[in-house]
Amino acid sequence: LAELKDLKLHGMALAYAELLQEGDTAAMQSSHWLIDQLIRAENTDRAMRSIRHQMQAARFPVHRDLAGFDFTAAKVDRALIEQLATLDFTEAAHNLVLIGGTGTGKTHLATALGVAAVTQRGLRVRFYSTIELVNTLEQEKAAGKQGRLAYALMRMDLVILDELGYLPFSQAGGALLFHLLSKLYEHTSVISHHQPDVRRVAAV
């Protein structure tokens, strides 16, 4: 009964309670098995629909996972990456910075961690290219709606910033990005990546 109510199937819960009162033991055992299977199927379907919705909302440019990452071709600590893939760091809203040269798989790893966050932990994730995010922040400010995006992203569990420091943006855009990141601090985990030369990151 509790499971039916949790699924908001109140009509089924009421009908099942009435059948229990009638006391047909054999019928009830059979119906209990059937209802248990239906509840399992409903829970599975809802979980899958939620994952599909969250994957679409995350806006990953492509699907990537750790199974498709070539650890032999990159100088990456596999044990560390697999530990990060538990997404435990998001529980305290800790951040992650991936540093490496061009072609070392930073975007692949960041995306794979985001996909794992959705599919394995049911977390809310949003993927942005940094330039896309800065442009959105500038448009928001120009429209007199500054702060709305920050509020929305504070409700996320994880934000992924792709290509931070690869392309230049204005000082004003950098200030807006810094302000956003300060808002997300201790509320939403952020995964970002850049090349070893941190001077390439725009001064904010």
pLDDT (0 to 100) of residue 75: 82
Please tell me the total count of domains within the chain. 2
Q: Are residues 40 and 70 in the same domain?
A: no
The verdict on 34 and 118 lying in the same domain is no
Short-list 7, 21, 160, 5, CA closest to 95: 160
Is residue 19 within 8 A of residue 31, CB to CB? The reply is: yes
* Res 204: pLDDT: 37
End residue of a domain, out of 20, 39, 58:
58
- Sorted by sequence, the CB contacts under 8 Å of residue 76 that are 6+ apart come out as 104, 105, 109
Pair (177, 138) in one structural domain: yes
Q: Are residues 150 and 183 in the same domain?
A: yes
Domain boundary among 18, 33, 58: 58
| Dihedral pair phi/psi, residue 97, rounded to 5° | -115, 125
pLDDT digits (tens, 9 = 90+) for 136-151: 999 999 999 999 999 9
Could you give the CA distance from residue 45 to residue 18 in angstroms, rounded to a whole number?
27
pLDDT value at residue 10: 63
**Whether residue 85 sits in one domain with residue 43:** no
Residue after which a domain boundary falls, among 58, 79, 95: 58
Which residues constitute the domain of residue 8?
A: 2-58
Residues of the chain with pLDDT under 70: 1, 4-5, 7, 9-31, 33-34, 37-38, 165-167, 196-204
Alpha-carbon distance of 87 to 34, in angstroms, equals 36
**Claim to verify: residue 80 and residue 174 sit in the same structural domain:** yes
Mark whether 33 and 71 lie in a shared domain: no
70 and 43 share one domain: no
Q: What pLDDT is recorded for position 27?
A: 60
- Residue whose tokens read 């061009």: 102
Q: Where are the beta strands (DSSP E) in 10-144?
A: 96-99, 125-129
Q: Which of 41, 53, 64 is nearest to 123 (CA)?
A: 53
pLDDT of amino acid 143: 95
The amino acid sitting at 80 is L
The pair of structure tokens assigned to 161 is 């910033």
* 11 and 94 inside one domain: no
Residue given tokens 């939620």 in the structure block: 50
Q: What's the pTM value of the predicted model, to 2 decimals?
A: 0.79
Query: Looking at the structure, do residues 17 and 81 belong to the same domain, yes or no?
Result: no
Give the CA distances from residue 140 to residues 50, 102, 125, 134, 204, in Å, rounded to whole numbers and listed in that order: 29, 31, 21, 10, 18
